Amino acid sequence: MDRNMGIRENVNNGKVSAGTWKKLLKYCKKYHIVIALAVLFSAAGSALTIAGPDKLSEITDTISEGLVPDEEKLEEISVAVGDNTSANMELIVAELTENMASVIPEDITINNSTITYEEQIVTMQALSEAATETGEGSYEIIDELPESVQAAIYTDIVIDDVTITAEDQKEMIGILSDVDENDSEAALNAIDLLPESVYSLIKPSVDIEKVVSIALLLVCLYGAGAILSLLQGFIMATVTQVVSKNLRNDISQKINKLPMGYYHHNSTGDVLSRVTNDVDTIGTSLNMSVGTLVSAITLFIGSLIMMLITNVTMTITGVLATIIGFVLMIVIMGRSQKYFTRQQKHLGALNGHIEEIYSGHTVVKAYNGEKKAADEFGRLNENLRQSGFRAQALSGLMMPLMSFIGNFGYVAVCIVGAALALNGKISFGVIVSFMMYIRFFTQPLSQIAQATQALQSAGAASSRVFEFLEAEEMEDESNKTEVVKKAEGNVTFSHIKFGYEPGKTIIKDFSAEVKAGQKIAIVGPTGAGKSTLVNLLMRFYEIDDGEILIDGVSTAKMKREDVHSLFCMVLQDTWLFEGTVQENLIYCSENTSEEKMKAACRAVGLDHFISTLPNGYDTVLDDQVNLSQGQKQQLTIARAMIADKPILILDEATSSIDTRTEQKIQQAMDELMKNRTSFVIAHRLSTIKNSDLILVIKDGDIIERGTHDELMEQAGFYAELYNSQFEQAS
């Protein structure tokens, strides 16, 4: 059966249901408060960033205002001079009128200036003529009046502690009266010619104190934002790593709770891919996406609000220029989701194939299967390439697309802002702030797209991880209390029926009685059900009907670990882990003495070989230590001898050992099997001639039973098998 079939059948399902996200959120419920705090930090950091452009606009306006003369102050000075001259003129006219109406007119003094009677007559005549001609007075008329009268009209004034003398006032009026109001350049040049007392009040001057205070505030805002972003990153990195660790732990525990049938239908590589690739994808994607998504959304909404507050016209321009980005982003996300899911599934399928080919590379080479393996690898690799390319190609469109939209909006805002500034509707600082706001408005689009892609990957990986975690487990046996108090080794098979798949029965009606201490050999053709019988005895699988009793206690009423504690096994497939020789020998056998360990190794003929290793029993078994298949088998046999359990199972235990070594091990195993119930599965019938009982199985049923001699006398199926082996040997 193709172990990757389930993967290939489901690989086209590209949907990640909302239920997957609910499961992930529920799984992270212990960290919801911490995650919410990280989200708050991210939002607060982004909000502080949004406040920056407004303050930057204020700095810009302050500097801009300081680079040109103070027209408002000039207007204030002009009004002050006009008010002063008008007031003096009214005073002079009143004094002159009163003096000339008196019986004996005389010289008078006004504002410390003495005006003679003759000058009074000239002044009144000039003012009367001017009023008749123009209806109003002007500075030109003042220039035609006597010097004494002008001295009385132009008096010193004080503005902002600066004294503007009469001469400076006359000079200022003379300069400004010659300027064309529509000629901006001429007006600026005229300002440079003003008297020092006037120019000192209106000359360009940047308010450095205000600029520094705003700049310090900006530093504090950006610094606080950076600290909050760092805290958010630290919290999310911690949480995602803890969640990834917990997922790996749960998967590891789940592996031990799944029935053997699960691994019959799923490849080891696919399971490993879920533990490594999928869990790493979840952690990495969540770490990258949550903070980025919150920050981007905050920037997007916050910048939109600030733009509306600042200027509605420019806001509409920016939104219209970038709205197309939303539409394209939604379309791309919708199409790329299924490819992210396929990518994860294809990766699992490829890992499964690599694991199978690597573990069986000797067989592949022996049968010249390199081309077939390479073709299959190429097919799976191409599937992964296609799904990965489509996912990454679609997601890769986001950055250049968002960059173009952002630049387009930037240009549009600059053009509209310049037009509004020329019309005097906004200041230059508003344009500067909007240039930043439009960046904050468009930049989140690409960040949201990236975060969404990361979440898509996390969703696809989560779907596979939770599919594994939710797989049907073995029955909970916490309520089972039956145990074998004193194990003797009596085993009863009563009408056993079993099939790996519903409707396909392998063992149809198997019954047998095994007494304590007997050596039971199970023989039969391939596929007869020999190893299946042992799997049922160990409760690796649950029987469909019937029961198995050990010393009168049904294995179905015992906990699996209690059943396993009664057995030690030596399988055809050896299993050694990276560790010392001693650690492999005493695996899960506590308080084993060194002498017992060495005695077992001597019994299987392995002690001499171990003594030749660099560090003896402390030699680490890794890629640097090459053991033959036979030596590995000897190690596993010694391990079973050290375990010293009441029931022994040997499943083709000597299949990888040469005949001479087999004879030596057989003697040690015969000694080991004394007073122990032993089940021996062997194809080489010469190794089980001394068995107390031989069960011959064919098509799931016992067709013959008895000792070797009894079965040979029957001249039945067993005798035929036995004789055929010697005929082949001869």
Predicted local distance difference test score (pLDDT) of residue 253: 86
Helix (H) or strand (E) holding 697: strand 693-698
Helix (H) or strand (E) holding 706: strand 701-706
Could you tell me the pLDDT band of residue 433, with boundaries at 50, 70 and 90? Answer: confident
Could you tell me if 635 and 665 lie in one domain?
Answer: yes
Domain span including residue 75? 71-202
Predicted local distance difference test score (pLDDT) of residue 302: 84
Say how far residue 272 (Cα) sits from the centre of its chain.
Answer: 20
pLDDT tens column, 655-694 = 666 667 667 667 667 766 777 888 888 777 777 888 888 9
Say which CATH number the domain at 614 has: 3.40.50.300
Residue 652 vs residues 573, 633, 662: alpha-carbon distances, Å: 9, 10, 12
Whole-angstrom distance, CA of residue 332 vs CA of residue 309: 32
Q: Is residue 712 part of a domain?
A: yes
pLDDT tens column, 390-426 = 877 776 776 777 777 777 777 777 788 788 877 777 7
69 vs 20, higher pLDDT: 20
Q: Is residue 481 part of a domain?
A: no
Could you tell me if 314 and 188 lie in one domain?
Answer: no
Specify whether the backbone of 421 is left (phi greater than 0), alpha (psi in -120 to 50) or beta.
alpha
Whole-angstrom distance, CA of residue 36 vs CA of residue 28: 12
Could you tell me if 159 and 277 lie in one domain?
Answer: no
Whether the predicted pLDDT of 190 surpasses 80: no
Q: Is residue 4 part of a domain?
A: no
Predicted local distance difference test score (pLDDT) of residue 138: 59
Q: What is the pTM of this model?
A: 0.62
Predicted local distance difference test score (pLDDT) of residue 291: 80
Could you tell me if 350 and 462 lie in one domain?
Answer: yes
Mean pLDDT of 498-520: 84
Q: Is residue 170 part of a domain?
A: yes
CA atoms within 13 A on the CB side of 128: 8
Could you tell me if 649 and 709 lie in one domain?
Answer: yes
Q: What percent of the chain has pLDDT over 70?
A: 87
Predicted local distance difference test score (pLDDT) of residue 434: 77
Whole-angstrom distance, CA of residue 247 vs CA of residue 27: 9
Residue 45 β-bridge partners: none
Mean pLDDT of 428-433: 75
Could you tell me if 596 and 669 lie in one domain?
Answer: yes
Of the candidates 525, 553, 537, 551, the residue with the CA atom closest to the CA atom of residue 496: 537
Could you tell me if 698 and 646 lie in one domain?
Answer: yes
Predicted local distance difference test score (pLDDT) of residue 137: 45
342 vs 550, higher pLDDT: 550
Whether the predicted pLDDT of 713 surpasses 80: yes
Could you tell me if 56 and 183 lie in one domain?
Answer: no
Give the range with max mean pLDDT: 80-89, 168-177, 206-215, 335-344.
Answer: 80-89
Torsion angle, CA of 478/481/485/489, rounded to 10 degrees? -70
Could you tell me if 241 and 304 lie in one domain?
Answer: yes
456 vs 231, higher pLDDT: 231
639 vs 127, higher pLDDT: 639
Write the single-letter amino acid at 378: G
Q: State which of 202, 222, 239 marks the end of a domain.
A: 202
Q: Is residue 486 part of a domain?
A: no
Mean pLDDT of 528-555: 86
Could you tell me if 380 and 460 lie in one domain?
Answer: yes
Predicted local distance difference test score (pLDDT) of residue 13: 46
Q: Detail the DSSP E strand segments found in 214-360.
A: none
Q: Is residue 11 part of a domain?
A: no
Say how far residue 641 (Cα) sits from the centre of its chain.
Answer: 50
Q: Of 180-184, 504-508, 559-563, give the lowest mean pLDDT range.
A: 180-184
Whether the predicted pLDDT of 212 surpasses 70: yes
Domain count for the chain: 3
Could you tell me if 289 and 184 lie in one domain?
Answer: no
Whether the predicted pLDDT of 523 surpasses 80: yes
Whether the predicted pLDDT of 12 surpasses 60: no
Write the single-letter amino acid at 354: I
Whole-angstrom distance, CA of residue 120 vs CA of residue 127: 11
SS3 readout for 471-500: CCCCCCCCCCCECCCCCCCCEEEEEEEECC
Predicted local distance difference test score (pLDDT) of residue 548: 92
Q: Is residue 405 part of a domain?
A: yes
Q: Are 483 and 553 in contact (CB under 8 A)?
A: yes
Say which CATH number the domain at 273 has: 1.20.1560.10
Q: State which of 413, 439, 469 marks the end of a domain.
A: 469
Predicted local distance difference test score (pLDDT) of residue 188: 65
| H helix count then E strand count, the chain | 28, 16
**Cα first-last separation, the chain:** 36
Q: Is residue 485 part of a domain?
A: no
Residue 49 vs residues 27, 45, 278, 295: alpha-carbon distances, Å: 33, 6, 35, 10
Predicted local distance difference test score (pLDDT) of residue 366: 67
pLDDT tens column, 261-308 = 787 777 777 788 888 888 888 888 888 788 888 888 888 888 888 888
Whole-angstrom distance, CA of residue 580 vs CA of residue 141: 117
Whether the predicted pLDDT of 431 surpasses 60: yes
The mean pLDDT of the chain is 79
Q: 598-609: b or e for each residue (b if 16 or more CB lie within 10 Å)?
A: bebbebbbbbee
Residue 54 burial class via C-beta count within 10 angstroms: exposed 0-12, middle 13-18, buried 19 and up: middle
Q: State which of 186, 202, 218 marks the end of a domain.
A: 202
pLDDT tens column, 334-393 = 676 677 778 877 887 887 788 777 767 766 766 677 788 888 888 888 888 888 888 777
SS3 readout for 550-609: ECCEEHHHECHHHHHCCEEEECCCCCCCCEEHHHHHCCCCCCCCHHHHHHHHHHCCCHHH
Residue 175 vs residues 171, 179, 181, 607: alpha-carbon distances, Å: 6, 7, 12, 117
Could you tell me if 464 and 582 lie in one domain?
Answer: no
Whether the predicted pLDDT of 447 surpasses 80: no
Radius of gyration (Cα) for the chain, nearest Å?
49
Predicted local distance difference test score (pLDDT) of residue 3: 43
